[in-house]
Chain A
Amino acid sequence: MTVWQIVILASIAVLAIKLVGYLIPPTWVEKPTPARVANLLTIALLSGLVVVQTLGAGQAIVADARVPALIVAAGLFALRVPFILVIIAAAVVAALIRLLF
Chain B
Amino acid sequence: MSFSVGLAVAAYGVSFGALSVTAGLDVWQTCVLSLLMFSGGSQFALIGVLASGGVAAGGAAIAGAALLGTRNALYALRVAPFIGVSWPRKAIVAHLTIDESTAVSTAQTTLAAQRAGFWWTGLIIYFGWNIATLLGAVIGDLLGDVRQYGLDAAAAAAFLGLLWPRLRQLQPVVVAIAAAVVAASLTPVLPAGIPVLAAALVAVVVGITNWLGVKR
Chain A residues in the interface with B (C-beta under 8 A): 1-15, 17-22, 24, 26, 28-29, 32-56, 58-61, 65-66, 69-70, 73-74, 77, 82-84, 86-96, 98
Contact = CB atoms under 8 A, between A and B. Distances in A.
B199 A44 contact: yes
A84 B156 contact: no
Contact of A10 (B46, B91, B95): B46
Classify chain B: how many residues form its interface, as a range: 35 or more
A66 B200 contact: no
Nearest to B20: A7
A40 B171 contact: yes
Contact of B150 (A15, A43, A51, A90): A90
**Residue in A14, A42, A92 whose Cβ sees the most chain B Cβ within 10 Å:** A14
Given A21-B72, A52-B48, 14 more contacts: A2-B55, A7-B25, A7-B36, A17-B73, A18-B73, A37-B203, A40-B206, A43-B172, A43-B179, A51-B184, A52-B187, A55-B187, A70-B157, A86-B161
B160 interface: yes
A6 B46 CA distance: 9
A47 B183 contact: yes
B30 to A, nearest CB: 9
B71 A39 contact: yes
Given A14-B42, A17-B70, A36-B213, A46 B159 contact: yes
Contact of A50 (B37, B159, B172): B159
B24 A69 contact: no
Given A15-B36, A47-B180, A49-B44, A37 B208 contact: yes
Interface in B60-97: 61-62, 64-78, 80-81, 90-91, 93-95, 97
Contact of B183 (A39, A51, A70): A51
B8 interface: yes
A87 to B, nearest CB: 5
A10 to B, nearest CB: 4
A36 B3 CA distance: 30
Interface of B: 8, 11-12, 14-15, 24-26, 29, 32-33, 36-39, 41-42, 44-46, 48-52, 55, 58-59, 61-62, 64-78, 80-81, 90-91, 93-95, 97, 147-164, 166-167, 171-172, 175-180, 182-184, 187-189, 191-192, 195-196, 198-204, 206-208, 210, 213, 216
Nearest to A5: B58
**Residue in A39, A43, A90 whose Cβ sees the most chain B Cβ within 10 Å:** A43
